[in-house]
Chain A
Amino acid sequence: MLGKLMKYEWKATWKLLLPANLVLVVMTLIAWWMTNMVEYSRAEFQMIDFMEVMVILTYVISMFAVYIGTAIFLIYRFYTSTYGDQGYLLHTLPVDTHHIILAKVFVSASWLLINSVMMIGSILFLFTAREDAFFTMMEGVMDVVEYMGGEEITMFTMVMTLVAYVFSLFARVLKVSACISLGQLSSNHKLLLSFAWYIGVYIVECICQGLFFAVRLAFQKHVSSWTYYSYYDTQWETTLLAGIIGCVVFYVLTWYVMSRKLNLE
């Protein structure tokens, strides 16, 4: 049944999200073409500089719009199909609650992953329009990573960083699912309560991160102003651990509400 649930989840989301991602591709191509053209014609046409700025601006806005729009659509989809009117059909299907959660989370996380890949790919592709800019950017990225983490970048580190990112992505999706689910425990103002749960969970996360950092700091010999950031942003172990803990905690919360406290009033 998991496969069938996923099939229908893809069907319900791709009609909107695929065109949105195609818009991103088209905008990338236009921006690339514009950037490429301006480089060779800057001296003759001043007007084209203005056009380039406008195109790049539209490109950046469309990228944000697609990413934020995707997230909002997926949250809306989860809410309406699980706890809205469509939930009456979903929760009367002869399927296990685990399958319902897995199908929704996997499809949502996949779309966000696709979005991330598209955005990174788009930015890298755009920089290829100007070879010098591409290499400058890559050097800059490496410098920042080295400065913040001071860690030698190996293939293993890169793979584990990707794995950690995937876990943290799933944890973020499950966090939203858990907060929406917890909001359903109330008879009134369910959406407002879901938002309050999200804020509450975020505060708890910050406190836990702070405590974790303080404990690690106690064992460090050299402390700099960048250490704080480096231990969150460049060490895959921390991200992976936080991602796994997040996945487990938020999954259990979502499952508990759906299977033990379902409240479709």
Chain B
Amino acid sequence: MNMAPMVQCMGLTKTYGRKIALNQIYLNLERGRIIGLLGPNGSGKTTLIKIMNGLLRPTSGEVLINGQRPGVETKLRISYLPERTYLQPGMKVIELVQYFQDFYPDFRLDRAYDMLARLQIPPQERLKNLSKGTKEKVQLIMVMSRDADLYILDEPIAGVDPASRDYILNTIVSNYNRNGSILLSTHLISDVENVLDDVVFIKYGSIVLQAGAEQIRQNEHKSVDQFFREVFAC
């Protein structure tokens, strides 16, 4: 059994011209945990996530997923939800399901159709005919229908109403592979606080804290949300 950390960042740095997006990140994420990657807008959350998924190349340093550099092997193990809609508008929902089943061996067809049925999304409907919120839910359903080792969810609850937030969080917690980890990036701490095992605070491209959620509550005598507001106060 591979005992390497699920995610290992070693001196990870990313610059855009003169702007430093990530500055010497050292980070280990363990297996079987729900980890919140928390930071305000522009703190480097998405950049870090894109590097983990191989969508961006670091300027220096290295990231290892399950002991491997981002590539075909790591993509088999990561289920990634980006902060934007990546669906082809002309596709039908059923075609999208088929697409995921064709490419990901760990895709669970029954789970996908079950979640679609609960939301009353017709499989024959074209994605372009769905509302923005429904498209996001379809995308989440595809991602959570995999039995991945690592789920990387970038701002899954940003820009949705409170009722939808509950649905999304419930979907995530109810459907993920229990042997896997979830890395959930957000700046809406109060909504996700209760599901998190660990938190990573990121500020101006640097990790300022990595701790257990319970540990913060006990040591600081305040919620993660309150502590976050204190750390990131302007």
B-binding residues in A (CB < 8 A): 1, 4, 8, 11-12, 15, 81, 85-89, 91-96, 187, 260-265
Contacts and interface: CB of A to CB of B under 8 A. Distances in A.
Nearest 4 A/B pairs, CB to CB: A88-B86, A94-B75, A89-B86, A264-B55
Residue from the set A4, A87, A89, A264 with the largest chain B CB neighbour count within 10 Å:
A89
Interface of B: 16-17, 50, 53-57, 72-73, 75-76, 78, 80, 82, 84-88, 90, 95, 99, 102-104
B54 A91 contact: yes
Nearest to B72: A94
Given A94-B72, A263-B57, A4 B103 contact: yes
A41 B102 CA distance: 59
A263 B95 CA distance: 28
Given A15-B90, A85-B84, A92 B16 contact: no
A143 to B, nearest CB: 48
A85 B86 contact: yes
A4 B101 CA distance: 11
Contacts of A93: 75, 103
Given A261-B57, A264-B55, A88 B88 contact: no
A257 B102 CA distance: 26
Given A1-B103, A265-B16, A92 B54 contact: yes
A12 B127 CA distance: 14
A187 B104 contact: no
Given A12-B90, A94-B103, A94-B104, A88 B57 contact: no
Main secondary structure of the interface of A (DSSP, over half): loop
Given A88-B86, A95-B75, 13 more contacts: A4-B103, A11-B95, A12-B88, A15-B90, A88-B55, A88-B84, A92-B55, A93-B103, A95-B103, A187-B17, A262-B54, A262-B57, A263-B56
A96 B88 CA distance: 21
B141 to A, nearest CB: 14
27 contacts: A4-B102, A4-B103, A15-B90, A85-B84, A85-B85, A85-B86, A87-B55, A87-B86, A88-B80, A89-B86, A91-B54, A91-B55, A92-B54, A92-B55, A92-B75, A93-B103, A94-B75, A94-B76, A94-B104, A95-B75, A95-B103, A187-B17, A262-B56, A262-B57, A264-B56, A265-B16, A265-B56
B97 to A, nearest CB: 13
Nearest to A1: B103
A187 B47 CA distance: 14
A8 B57 contact: no
Nearest to B50: A264
A4 B50 CA distance: 25
Residue from the set B54, B75, B103, B104 with the largest chain A CB neighbour count within 10 Å:
B103
B169 to A, nearest CB: 22
A262 B73 CA distance: 17
B56 A95 contact: no
A6 to B, nearest CB: 12
A227 B78 CA distance: 59
A92 B80 contact: yes
A88 B82 contact: yes
Given A1-B103, A96-B72, A264-B50, A89 B87 contact: yes
Contacts of B95: 11
Nearest to B21: A265
B41 to A, nearest CB: 15
A93 B50 CA distance: 14
Contacts of A94: 72-73, 75-76, 103-104
Contacts of B80: 88, 92
Nearest to B74: A94
B95 to A, nearest CB: 8
A261 B58 CA distance: 9
A12 B90 CA distance: 8
A255 to B, nearest CB: 14
A115 B90 CA distance: 23
Contacts of A261: 57
